[in-house]
Structure 1
Amino acid sequence: MAQDVLVLGGTRFFGKILVEKLLEAGHAVTILTRGTTPDPFGERVTRIRADRTDEAALAAAAEGRHWDVVYDNICYDANEARAAIRVFTGKIGRYVLTSSLSVYEAGSADMKEELVDTAALAVPAGPVDKVPYGEGKAQAEAVFFREAPFPAAAARFPIVLGPNDYTKRLQFHVDRIKSGVSFVMPNTEARICFIHEEEAADFLLWLGGIEAVGPFNAASAGKPKLRQVLGAIDRETGGQAIVLPEGPDSEGSPFGIPDHWAMDTSRAEEAGFKFRELDDWLPGLVRELAGRQN
């Protein structure tokens, strides 16, 4: 059934792919944008010009409107979550927050959602001081789950990879391995998980269309050790990773973690989502990135 959908953070990376998928599914899509990032959607979408962090501007833009689903890819803390609740209460049917693996501390390759039960996490009332990224995402989840009068779900994503990844975390490794340049990675035996940008968009689309609430881990099937990831890059590029166990932060791998850091995705699978195999897409993505001129 076609729905009216609002996407906050829909002009780049997997947010842009989500918008395309929503349009393909026949939904009426509105995107919130500051107007600083071009988008390819033309007249297929409605645009609200506002800064996500300016609550007054956001409230003015949302006045008199209603959406069945809101996707929020750019909420980073409790303050922004509470602002969203104030703005969207009475105007929406369901809220989907993009959250993160970073709500978990490293130390396990099988982290389940209940390990960080944000529905039971109390967040201080009033403005909350700035906190690290992962803690901010956990507090944002807690605010939506505990305080919102509308149903809310959160997608806990690991590192998202793809050709549109503006952070270039995989590109860092591809370039250095191709060029024979060393980098620092403290524990190549640590297990990690990833998700492709297309799969992240598919997951958000799915999560917006079900009734379940709360957090859902989302990652491609496969939890390789980092040395296995580097080996795959070696094979696809013809290079050889030169890994240092320690060194300056400026030489640190964006994948550098001290211990296992991967999620159990059984909750989403049991609810009906089928994840891709990591081995089905990572080698091809490495080849694509290796062919780029940087």
Structure 2
Amino acid sequence: MIHNIDIKKNAVETLELEAAAIQQLTKTIDKDFVDVVNQILNLQGRVIVTGIGKSAIIAQKMVATLNSTGTPAIFMHAADAIHGDLGIIQPADLIIALSKSGNTPEIKVLVPFLKQTGNTLVAIVGNLNSFLATQADYILNTTVEREACPNNLAPTTSTTAQLAMGDALAVALQTCRQFSDRDFAKYHPGGALGKQLYLRVADLADNNGKPTLSPDANIREVIITITKHRLGATAVMHADEIVGIITDGDIRRMLEKYEDLTGLTAGDIMTRAPKTIARQELAVEALHRMRQDNIAQLLVVEDNRYQGIIHLQDLLKEGII
């Protein structure tokens, strides 16, 4: 082990090499790239992405990004393809093959079979004179000057270039499709990001109950109601109208302000004109308002009628925060 190496300098040099490689890619975006985007936009089938070794790993990430941004895609390992997985390919599909050299034995065996299917073949390749490049219908050039590996062997800069080219393709497709945050949420319903984009106030508040008191309720009733519902608050209602809210904080302020609690009512200690939110608002909007007003609860309404309470803890449990 070499102990006198400047680790920080080495890491910076690696990142600089990879950043420079990505910067160079901007010069390779040409008519082929535009044509590939248009081909995929008009595709009746799916995008089949294939590769071998480290390129196969990048291909899998590319497939995941395409699928999550509105372009149906399937990964096909180049080695498995020649042992039966070619059946994945359907007549309306487009094939993207990733390879740094474009001359690996698996690619050389696979490409002739791919050409027989008649599907459009796109090469993301780092060698424009390679077998893959000469056989492809379109080329996305990911040539790099050298790998970040000190021996110029381990795929590092080259796979970074492949990854970036795949992202450029996916984002171009996403933009052309006008794929919105709402569309994105449909493909990410289980994660925190998806929840921010689709989870509604009603989805959380409807499980909380509707703690309610009249303005003339005594303090004992106030404390029992707040304790029972475990929301740290209760709405104060006059007929069907919200006239206030009482929170744990109001109770503490009451104890500081009054020596004698005899005769005090909900109306005496409530906060008037409480903050509300419509039940169809996104839950993340409730979080924004709580942060803005430095509060932990919002009264939920629909057509100005009281529906319940949403609490900061509801948002924490769902991972919105």
TM-score range, shorter chain: under 0.3
**Does 1 or 2 have the higher relative contact order (CA < 8 Å, sep 6+)?**
1
Flag the structure with higher helix content.
Answer: 2
TM-score normalized with structure 2 length: 0.25
TM-score normalized with structure 1 length: 0.27
